[in-house]
A and B are shown apart, each in its own frame.
Chain A
Amino acid sequence: MEKDIKLMKGNDAIAEAAIRAGADAYFGYPITPQSEVIEYLMAEQPEKRTGMVVLQAESEVAAINMIYGAAGAGKRVLTTSSSPGISLMQEGISYIAGAQLPCVLVNVVRGGPGLGTIQPSQADYFQSVKGGGHGDYKLIVLAPASVQESVDFIKLAFDIAFKYRNPVMLLTDGVLGQMMEKVEFFEQQERKKEDEPWATVGKAGRGHRNYITSLFIKPEKMYEVNLELQKKYREVEKNEVRYQEIDTEDADYLFVAYGTTARICQKACQLAREKGIKVGLLRPISLYPYPYDAINKLADKVKGVMVIEMNHGQMVEDVKLAVNGKLEVGFMGRSGGIIPTPSEILEALENKFINK
């Protein structure tokens, strides 16, 4: 079969991937730098292609609750937003996690705090990986580093979300959302035909009613539900860790970076090797669950670990946990929409570990 290759903007590609992944509905609210997702969907009219519903909500608060309702009906649903909008969704995300509903969320991150800037950033790492909303819950977080991965991970995210009945977030940023790259699309997937046994679709033919809730007023019951969630998260940690190692076999130093900064670090590795410094890269693909073991193993082989982020040091805390005191962990970050360059990344590594 002929390959379906297109040159596409990241946000448009996410929208197309959602249609092809057999999504039943998209609910969203415009916010820069990700508004192209809903614009693409409205122009494309997927209701005519696959029957997928697209609705512009009155706010991110409404959008995430529409997601809750449709996910509670067992449908494949997604929303996309950017940092301030994702903050507004946090209450709903906590309810979705508490009620154990599958859905896909995309955060095309921009710089903060507050209204911040519309330029790219990775400052929402803590919010995505460590909680964001209230209560003891986890989002499964995937960090694409290309338009191609943005597309592939939309499909993967739906599979994981339904496997664990858990929300899955794609943590991308303004670079990945706005840039154009070559992308190969997967085939159109069929929309779900069968109802989930737990979904609220009307109790006809079932003999008992279903209800979707995150309310467990009795302490014993709430504790039991929390233990059930924890058990699920341990399964996720066992099965869903994803990462990529580049040039780590002979590396003396290691960069750890995800998404856009991982792409930039690849170039920094190249510059380093041209100077005779053997540097490798570990790129976490799943930010929760985190590749602690892989980093811990590499810490036995290298002389220093350098974490690069577009923020002032968030993921570096997880790298330190992974390294567990074996080595010094350096950090270099830029924020506010300023993207670190390969040469300044290399310089930071040299200053930290080589020229000291």
Chain B
Amino acid sequence: MLMEALEDLNLGDETIGVAPVGCSVFAYHYMDIDMQQAAHGRAPAVATGIKRVMPDKTVFTYQGDGDLAAIGTAETIHACNRGENITFIFINNGIYGMTGGQMAPTTLENMKSSTSPYGRDLKSMGHPLKMTELVANLNGVAYATRQAVHTPALVRKCKKAIVKAFKLQKENKGTTFVEIVTNCNSGWKMRPVQANEWLQKNMIPYYPLGDIKK
């Protein structure tokens, strides 16, 4: 879908993507564009480096919630605050997928993971972090939206949001931030359909869909 968006805008040949550590780490195997692999959490800094020396190119990061909202929070906030003309694609599935289903900053209250086996206890483990609301407050951010892809209608909507983000980047409007709430059925230990139902029932109420800043 991300590649479709770039193709529709005829931007693929002048785009550089950044995939850090997490399930996104092999992203460059699936995207036929120039890409850089980044250290855990550092994609926004790497993307800043790329964009600053090539301001005419399109640059995006593709980061999971552990990467963007835990280890890379500082880089995320400061890149957004500087209004770097880059696009964040933020995949929020409430869990560390690559390392085997540990608790993420976005893990919901009482949600079980391998490091919260009795469920996330807000008192000792903190609250699920709403990154998109947080960055929407920053002046450098031009567009912040939360999307999902568990129904065909939502997929179409999400693609529109990604296209809008890249268009704004081309117009040098500032940082564009697209969160995609999705499932991790293997990490959640659910069947795919069941995971989608659980997502709709539990994730979406806490992470409501729609534009937060447009």
Q: A200 touching B48 by the CB < 8 A rule? A: no
Residue of B nearest to A27 (CB): B49
Q: B78 touching A58 by the CB < 8 A rule? A: yes
Interface centre among A61, A201, A212 (most CB of B within 10 A): A212
B207 to chain A, nearest CB (A): 26
A67 interface neighbour in B32, B47, B49, Cβ under 8 Å: B49
Q: Given A61-B45, A211-B28, A73 and B37 touching (CB < 8 A)?
A: no
Q: B34 touching A92 by the CB < 8 A rule? A: no
Q: A72 touching B50 by the CB < 8 A rule? A: yes
Q: A209 touching B33 by the CB < 8 A rule? A: yes
**Which residues from chain B contact A58 at a C-beta distance below 8 Å?**
74-75, 78
| A residues 207-228 touching B (CB-CB < 8 Å) | 209-215
Q: A55 touching B37 by the CB < 8 A rule? A: no
B184 to chain A, nearest CB (A): 20
Q: A65 touching B53 by the CB < 8 A rule? A: no
Q: B74 touching A69 by the CB < 8 A rule? A: no
Q: A294–B13 Cα gap in the complex (Å)?
A: 51
Q: B50 touching A65 by the CB < 8 A rule? A: no
A230 to chain B, nearest CB (A): 22
**Which residues from chain B contact A25 at a C-beta distance below 8 Å?**
49, 52-53
Judge whether B163 is part of the interface by a CB distance below 8 angstroms.
no
Q: Given A65-B42, A69-B48, A72-B50, A202 and B37 touching (CB < 8 A)?
A: no
Q: A73 touching B45 by the CB < 8 A rule? A: no
**Which residues from chain B contact A211 at a C-beta distance below 8 Å?**
28, 34-37
Q: A99–B74 Cα gap in the complex (Å)?
A: 24
A70 interface neighbour in B25, B37, B39, B53, Cβ under 8 Å: B53
Total count of chain B residues near the partner, CB < 8 A = 31
Judge whether B54 is part of the interface by a CB distance below 8 angstroms.
yes
Judge whether B70 is part of the interface by a CB distance below 8 angstroms.
no
A198 to chain B, nearest CB (A): 10
Q: A326–B99 Cα gap in the complex (Å)?
A: 52
Judge whether B57 is part of the interface by a CB distance below 8 angstroms.
yes
**Which residues from chain B contact A95 at a C-beta distance below 8 Å?**
38-39
Q: Given A91-B39, A200-B16, A215-B25, A65 and B32 touching (CB < 8 A)?
A: no
Q: Given A73-B54, A200-B16, A202-B14, A212 and B37 touching (CB < 8 A)?
A: yes
Q: A27–B101 Cα gap in the complex (Å)?
A: 35
Residue of A nearest to B25 (CB): A215
Taken residue by residue from 59 to 88, chain A's Cβ proximity to chain B (1 for < 8 Å, 0 otherwise) reads as 101110111111111010100000000000
Q: A77–B13 Cα gap in the complex (Å)?
A: 24
Q: A214 touching B37 by the CB < 8 A rule? A: yes
Q: A201–B56 Cα gap in the complex (Å)?
A: 10
Judge whether B185 is part of the interface by a CB distance below 8 angstroms.
no
A62 interface neighbour in B16, B28, B54, B75, Cβ under 8 Å: B75
Q: A210–B45 Cα gap in the complex (Å)?
A: 20
Residue of B nearest to A55 (CB): B52
B3 to chain A, nearest CB (A): 12
Q: A59 touching B13 by the CB < 8 A rule? A: no
Q: A184–B199 Cα gap in the complex (Å)?
A: 66
Judge whether B46 is part of the interface by a CB distance below 8 angstroms.
yes
Q: B39 touching A77 by the CB < 8 A rule? A: no
Q: B37 touching A77 by the CB < 8 A rule? A: no
B136 to chain A, nearest CB (A): 19
Q: B18 touching A202 by the CB < 8 A rule? A: no
Q: A24–B37 Cα gap in the complex (Å)?
A: 21
| B residues 1-56 touching A (CB-CB < 8 Å) | 12-16, 18, 25, 28, 32-39, 42, 45-50, 52-54
Q: Given A213-B36, A215-B25, A62 and B50 touching (CB < 8 A)?
A: no
Q: A209–B37 Cα gap in the complex (Å)?
A: 14
Q: A200 touching B34 by the CB < 8 A rule? A: yes
Judge whether A203 is part of the interface by a CB distance below 8 angstroms.
yes
Residue of A nearest to B59 (CB): A69
Residue of A nearest to B21 (CB): A215
Judge whether A53 is part of the interface by a CB distance below 8 angstroms.
yes
Q: A201 touching B45 by the CB < 8 A rule? A: no
B39 interface neighbour in A27, A65, A72, A200, Cβ under 8 Å: A65
**Which residues from chain A contact B48 at a C-beta distance below 8 Å?**
55, 62, 66, 69
Q: A287–B75 Cα gap in the complex (Å)?
A: 33
Chain A residues within 8 Å of B, Cβ to Cβ: 24-25, 27, 53, 55, 57-59, 61-63, 65-73, 75, 77, 91-92, 95, 99, 200-205, 209-215
Top 8 closest A-B pairs, CB basis? A69-B49, A65-B45, A66-B49, A204-B13, A69-B46, A70-B49, A202-B14, A213-B37
Having A69-B49, A92-B39, one finds 15 other A-B pairs with CB under 8 Å, namely A25-B49, A25-B52, A25-B53, A62-B78, A69-B36, A70-B50, A73-B49, A73-B50, A202-B14, A202-B34, A204-B14, A209-B32, A209-B33, A212-B36, A215-B25
List 19 A-B pairs, Cβ < 8 Å.
Answer: A25-B53, A53-B52, A58-B75, A61-B42, A61-B45, A62-B48, A62-B75, A62-B78, A63-B45, A68-B38, A69-B47, A70-B53, A71-B49, A73-B50, A95-B38, A200-B16, A202-B34, A209-B32, A212-B35
